[in-house]
């Protein structure tokens, strides 16, 4: 009988990896990195509980590292099969994996030089060299509609409205003449947002795996551009700068979109915006290439210029380490966008070390901040952050702007789930911390009358009736 094992994103929001076994074949859905506490990060160094060589296929819901960031280790452990994803996800995965490898090498080099790691000889989990073979194994599948991975596994993709290329996957398993439909929600985005299409609920599922990141919470009310304008004006007026922790592609474009509108309406002053990432590139070109994945309208053929809704007036890319460090010399108000979004590593750390001790500055946290991360510590009111072996006092203002979240809030998750034509026979909640998953479980039980359980790490469950 078909079965599924939760190899990650069970009891936490990272490390999405689900193993489906049916008709003698193994399919891995997503292959994410664990992020957050040391206990979670240590899992990245352990092999899977099965031989990676015995996995036949892999498929991705979207490009975020907590869904793709462990692929280099999977391939290093011997996985030689194809990794199916739609064209936008393939392009973004390539960018994110290269960026991830690059930053791990930068972080490791710094930790070795400054000797602040908890490990006597810090190593990168993988390097740029480990990423190359992964890219060879990526195989495009259609953005929409059905696709046969193999005679046993057929997937249909639905818009998830979370990042460019993000999908929910409906997997039909054929075994012994019987068909079982398993839906993987992927990460569900938000409704009525600029740039991305609304999430679409697949019509039916026998078994549903549903994310629960914000299963216990709604995002703040209020118009995003109003909230942003208020913060920008407040900080610039007192001569401060803003750090917006985020990867160069994704939520960053939502921010750019609103900044550009506010600049044009003269509701905020024009301040320089720095996007700091080794892989920083023209997001506009990327969005132009994948126009089926969003609803932005570019009035010019090529990126840039006044017809580009993502082009703020004073825009700078920092690719090299030197470019990145040079931003430290900017004393006039500016906006710095740099990863990682949960402040677990990457270049954003040196910007924080430089700007947190000054009360004029602000950090805007828009993404989910997992337990055990510096981002969560800031939200919880930490007065000190440990960065690169030093204690950095937090005097800067910390602002949570949930309006910029790429994740559905609780009622949006319920709206998405409510879109199924009938109740799934069984629902498993994944990709949520325990409190969030339990809160969504209770809501689904009372509002939808579904059979819902919270997934447990490394549990194997049967998918048949
Ligand atoms: Zn995601």
Q: What is the CATH number of the domain that holds 82?
A: 3.60.15.10
Kindly state the average pLDDT of the residues 99-116.
84
161 C-alpha to ligand 1 centroid (Å): 10
Whether 154 and 299 share a structural domain: no
**209 contacts 430 by C-beta, under 8 angstroms:** yes
Where a domain ends, among 384, 404, 424? Answer: 404
Kindly state the average pLDDT of the residues 358-378.
95
**337 contacts 250 by C-beta, under 8 angstroms:** no
Whether 40 and 53 share a structural domain: yes
Where a domain ends, among 404, 419, 442? Answer: 404
Instruction: Identify the domain containing residue 373 by its residue range.
Output: 224-404
Q: What is the pTM of this model?
A: 0.93
Whether 311 and 418 share a structural domain: no
- Position with higher pLDDT, 379 vs 282: 379
Q: How far apart are the first and last CA of the chain?
A: 9
391 C-alpha to ligand 1 centroid (Å): 30
Whether 81 and 230 share a structural domain: no
Is 305 a residue whose pLDDT tops 70? no
Question: Which residues does 167 contact at the CB level (< 8 Å), separation at least 6?
Answer: 61, 62, 86, 89, 157, 158, 159, 160, 186
Whether 89 and 145 share a structural domain: yes
62 C-alpha to ligand 1 centroid (Å): 7
Is 1 a residue whose pLDDT tops 80? yes
Q: How many domains does the chain have?
A: 2
> CA–CA separation, 166 vs 186, rounded Å?
8
Question: Taking the CB of residue 179, how many other CB atoms lie within 10 A of it?
Answer: 10
> CA–CA separation, 156 vs 396, rounded Å?
46
380 C-alpha to ligand 1 centroid (Å): 23
- Position with higher pLDDT, 51 vs 278: 51
Mean pLDDT across the chain, nearest whole number?
93
Q: State the pLDDT confidence band at 118, using cuts at 50, 70 and 90.
A: confident
340 C-alpha to ligand 1 centroid (Å): 13
Whether 321 and 284 share a structural domain: yes
Query: What angle do the packed helices 251-264 and 224-237 form, to 10 degrees?
Result: 70
Question: Which residues does 179 contact at the CB level (< 8 Å), separation at least 6?
Answer: 172, 173
188 C-alpha to ligand 1 centroid (Å): 8
Whether 204 and 229 share a structural domain: no
114 C-alpha to ligand 1 centroid (Å): 32
Cα separations in angstroms, 244 against 34, 161, 300: 22, 21, 28
For the domain that residue 367 is a member of, what is the CATH number? 3.40.50.10890
Whether 258 and 294 share a structural domain: yes
Q: What is the pLDDT of residues 150-205, one digit of tens each?
A: 999 999 999 999 999 999 999 999 999 999 999 999 999 999 988 899 999 999 99
Question: Which residues does 332 contact at the CB level (< 8 Å), separation at least 6?
Answer: 271, 272
Q: What percent of the chain has pLDDT over 90?
A: 78
Q: State phi, psi for 304 to the nearest 5 degrees.
A: 95, 165
Position 288 scores a pLDDT of 84
Tokens 């994803």 belong to residue: 85
Q: What is the pLDDT of residues 249-299, one digit of tens each?
A: 888 888 999 999 999 999 999 999 999 987 767 777 888 889 888 888 876
> CA–CA separation, 83 vs 61, rounded Å?
11
393 C-alpha to ligand 1 centroid (Å): 31
Whether 90 and 194 share a structural domain: yes
In terms of Cα–Cα distance, which of 343, 349, 344, 347 is closest to 387? Answer: 349
88 C-alpha to ligand 1 centroid (Å): 14
The answer to whether the bond into 165 is cis (omega within 30° of 0) is no
87, HSE (Cβ side, Cα atoms, 13 Å): 11
Q: What percent of the chain has pLDDT over 70?
A: 97
Q: State the pLDDT confidence band at 306, using cuts at 50, 70 and 90.
A: low
Whether 277 and 387 share a structural domain: yes
Is 303 a residue whose pLDDT tops 50? no
**Alpha-helical segments (H) within 12-60:** 38-43
Residue 19 DSSP symbol: E
Residue 294 DSSP symbol: B
Q: What is the pLDDT of residues 66-87, one digit of tens each?
A: 999 999 999 999 999 999 999 9
In terms of Cα–Cα distance, which of 331, 352, 332 is closest to 341? Answer: 352
Q: State the pLDDT confidence band at 248, using cuts at 50, 70 and 90.
A: confident
253 C-alpha to ligand 1 centroid (Å): 15
Q: What DSSP element (H or E) covers 156? A: strand 153-159
Whether 96 and 24 share a structural domain: yes
Is 300 a residue whose pLDDT tops 60? no
Whether 118 and 143 share a structural domain: yes
Where a domain ends, among 404, 431, 449? Answer: 404
Written as six digits, the tokens of 216 are 């216990």
For residue 410, the Cα-to-chain-centroid distance in whole angstroms is 18
Written as six digits, the tokens of 147 are 């696709």
Q: State the pLDDT confidence band at 144, using cuts at 50, 70 and 90.
A: confident
């Amino acid at each position: 009988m078909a079965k599924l094992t939760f190899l990650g994103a069970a009891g936490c929001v990272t490390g999405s990896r689900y193993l489906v076994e049916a008709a003698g074949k193994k399919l891995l859905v997503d292959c994410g990195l664990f992020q957050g506490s040391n206990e979670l990060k240590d899992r990245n160094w352990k092999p899977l509980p099965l031989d990676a060589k015995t996995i036949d296929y892999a498929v991705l819901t979207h490009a975020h590292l907590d869904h793709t960031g462990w692929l280099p280790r999977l391939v290093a452990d011997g996985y030689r099969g194809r990794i199916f994803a739609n064209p936008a996800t393939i392009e973004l995965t390539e960018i994110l994996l290269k960026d991830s490898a690059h930053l791990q090498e930068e972080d490791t080099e710094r930790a070795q030089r400054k000797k602040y790691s908890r490990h006597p000889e810090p190593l990168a989990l993988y390097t740029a060299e480990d990423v190359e073979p992964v890219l060879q194994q990526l195989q495009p599948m259609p953005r929409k509609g059905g696709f046969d991975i193999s005679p046993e596994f057929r997937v249909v993709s639905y818009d998830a409205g979370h990042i460019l290329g993000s999908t929910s996957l409906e997997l039909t398993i054929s075994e012994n003449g019987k068909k079982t439909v398993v839906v993987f929600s992927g990460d569900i985005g938000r409704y009525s947002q600029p740039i991305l299409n609304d999430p679409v609920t697949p019509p039916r599922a026998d078994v549903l795996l549903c994310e629960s990141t914000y299963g216990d919470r709604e995002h703040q009310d209020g118009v995003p551009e109003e909230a942003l304008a208020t913060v920008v004006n407040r900080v610039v007026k007192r001569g401060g700068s803003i750090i917006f922790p985020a990867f160069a592609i994704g939520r960053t474009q939502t921010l750019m979109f609103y900044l550009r509108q506010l600049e044009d309406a003269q509701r905020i002053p024009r301040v320089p915006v720095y996007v700091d990432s080794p892989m920083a590139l023209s997001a506009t070109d990327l969005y132009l290439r994948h126009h089926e994945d969003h609803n932005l309208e570019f009035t010019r053929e090529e990126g840039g210029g006044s017809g580009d809704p993502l082009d703020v007036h004073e825009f700078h890319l920092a690719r090299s380490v030197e470019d990145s460090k040079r931003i430290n010399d900017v004393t006039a108000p500016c906006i710095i966008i740099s990863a990682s979004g949960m402040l677990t590593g990457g270049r954003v750390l040196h910007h924080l070390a430089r700007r947190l001790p000054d009360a004029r500055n602000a950090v805007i946290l828009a993404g989910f901040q997992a337990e055990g991360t510096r981002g969560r510590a800031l939200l919880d009111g930490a007065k000190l952050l440990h960065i690169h072996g030093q204690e950095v006092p937090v005097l800067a203002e910390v602002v949570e702007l949930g309006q910029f979240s790429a994740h559905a809030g609780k009622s949006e998750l319920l709206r998405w789930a409510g879109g199924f034509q009938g109740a799934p026979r069984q629902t498993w909640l994944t990709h949520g911390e325990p409190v969030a998953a339990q809160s969504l479980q209770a809501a689904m039980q009372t509002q939808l009358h579904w059979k819902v359980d919270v997934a447990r790490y490394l549990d194997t469950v049967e998918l048949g009736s």
